[in-house]
Structure formats: C-alpha cells, structure tokens
Amino acid sequence: MMKQTQKLSLAASQRLTVMGRMRMADWIEMPEREFAQEIVKLEKDPLFQKLYFGDGRIPGAFRRQRWPGGRLSGSFYEIDERTAAGSGERVGVEEFAQTRGPALAAIKRMGQKDFERYFLHGEDALTLEEIGRRTGLKPEEVRSIHELVVELGARAEFETAVEAPSAAPGRQSACLAQISLSGGVPSFEFYAPYWARGLYQVRHDLLDRWKDGGLTPVERKHLPGLLKRLETFNLRQSTLYRLLEMVARLQVDFLKSEQAVDVRPISLRQLAKRLDLAPSTVSRAFARRSVQLPSQRELPLISFVPGRRCVLRELLGGWLAENGAVTDAALAERLKMERGISVSRRTVNAVRHELHAEKRR
C-alpha cells in the first residue's frame, strides 16, 4: 500500500512539473505587448507598490537587478506624443498629451541620469516622497513618471511589421533591442522600459520585517501569490535574455560584417541543448520577436538560428557562382578550412543539386 501511495505521489509530482512547464511555455510565447500589460497589472498592485517603495518606516523589499549587458535605448528620450500614442492605434494624441505629456516634460527636466537612477532602476529603494525631494518634483509628477514607465511598454510603438520566416506574412513582431558591439562583446539597448529594468529582486531580510509588522492580514494572504508572479515574470524574462545573449555571442562574426555568409549554422535543437531548454521553448521564444543590428537593420530572431542546410546553401551558392567546375571534395574541404563546418562530399553534392534545380526553374 505504501509503495502504491509513493507511486501516486511521484506521478502527481510529475504532472505538476509538466503543467508548470506548459504554463511557462505559454508565458514565453506571450506577445511582448500582452506581457507588458501584465507588468502594468503587477506594478499597479497596491501591495507591490507598498513593498517596492516602502513607507518611510521599513524600506522597500523589492528591487531591480539590471542585465549585465543591457540599458535603455536613447530613443526613449526622443519619444513624442505621436509615438507614445502608438502609430498602430487610434488613440487621441491630445488625450495622451494631457495625461502623460507633463511626465515626459518632467523627465527631460531632471535629465537621463536621475531618471534612470530613481525611476528606471530604483537603485536607492526610496519612497515616492523622498524621490520627489531629491529631484525637486511634485508628488503628482513623481507618480505620473512612475506610471508612464510602467505603462509605456504596453503601447504599440514597440511593434513593427517584420516578416519572420516562421510567421505569416505581415504578422506583427516586437523589436526587443538594438545590438551593439564593444571589443567584440555584444550589448543591448532595449526599447521597452520594462526590458531595460531587468529582473525583480526580493530582499528577504526586509520582507521578513514587513511580514512581522508592516502588512495587514489581507496583505499577508495576498503576498504568496504576488511573490509567485514575480518569480514567473523573472523566469520568463531571464529565459528570453539568455537566448538573446547566446545567439548574439554565437553570431558575433555576422554582427560585425552583417554579411549572410558569416552566419554560423546553429539549429534550434543545438541552442536548446546549450541552454538546457526544450527545443519547443526556443521556438516559442523566437516567434514574433526581432532585434536591430548595429547598422539599425532589423531582423527576426529566428534568422540567427538558420540551421546547417541553410548556411550551406548560402555559402555554396556563392562559391559555385565563382567556379561551377569545382569538385564536391574541394568544396567540403573549403567548408572545413574556412568555416569550420565538417560535412561529407555527399552532403555537398546534394546541396549542389538543390541549387542547380532551383536555377533551372
């Protein structure tokens, strides 16, 4: 009887694990704009705000942990009423200017350094009142800026009509960031503030102080669900960031030249194995997301994992155009010497025939 109970318990645990993975897959596949709306709900939760800003007696227990190679794009500071209203939405420009225009003006007055310190990253865990004293802003301006930062990613200006190979033509794609290179190391300028802010960080020592005497019974009951939501959001964002960082590092030669022949052959399965993820998770993560190259040319993320066959077709197509009489063995050797790609002569011959057949059509 005990063995049977243990088996049932194990089966239940496995089902919960599978269900958890399925839910996370849904979060990863969730469009960026929809996820940004979930951020809005979270950060407007009164308990979140209480634990983020503190109350002057107990410091905030929630902080921000920046990405090591990420920052907010400078284009954020050039935002105007038309952009913030969203080119794809019929939202009144006058309405936006009335509700959020003063916040934009206040950001420009305080300057980029103070804005990022007090509103984007929350480095000092200050109350809204203390932020106002340090920046010389009125309380209503401080709250309006905070709400603007939270809400902005949910608007349409972060979506563009990039046609990803895996998506239907014309399907909207969210451009996450522009990739830059410094000394051959990639970094990211994120367009949405919620991306540039990084992960949520919980100071458990301060959270214990809140539990001991800073929360009402209702808030204590609500806290586990709030913490679970933070954990889910962090897992979703860290998974996407790890993928973004990995493909940028693997394709650094392509990022330098932006020539198709410099793209490395990487499959979704290989990438998933490197990061200990399921291939389906990687596929979901790349769907409807794009990045800008250093030249500001925009590409869907799926372009960074073309697979070996695609790369072979690109390389061999160019080489055969230069010399159609070269042997399969010579091409295989050149692939190994110049590109580090080991393939058989038979594979080279198969790709040659594919290219030849396409040329004859």
Q: Hey, which residues does 202 pair with through a beta bridge?
A: 62
Q: Which one, of 53, 140, 39, 153, lies nearest residue 99 by Cα? A: 140
Average pLDDT (328-354) is 75
pLDDT: which is higher, 326 or 307: 326
Is the pLDDT at 302 greater than 60? The verdict is yes
pLDDT digits (tens, 9 = 90+) for 122-140: 877 788 889 989 988 888 8
pLDDT digits (tens, 9 = 90+) for 3-52: 554 544 444 444 434 445 568 888 999 999 899 999 999 999 999 999 99
pLDDT at 246: 92
pLDDT: which is higher, 323 or 21: 323
pLDDT digits (tens, 9 = 90+) for 174-231: 899 999 998 889 999 999 899 999 999 999 999 999 999 899 999 999 999 999 999 9
Is the pLDDT at 265 greater than 60? The verdict is yes
CA–CA separation, 89 and 258 (whole Å): 33
Is the pLDDT at 84 greater than 70? The verdict is no
pLDDT at 244: 93
Is the pLDDT at 145 greater than 80? The verdict is yes
Domain range list for the chain: 27-247, 307-360
Bridge pairing between strands 289-292 and 173-182: parallel
CA–CA separation, 143 and 124 (whole Å): 17
- CB-hemisphere CA count at 13 Å for 287? 16
pLDDT at 227: 97
Q: Which two tokens stand for residue 149?
A: 């930062």
Work out the pLDDT band at 101, boundaries 50, 70, 90: confident
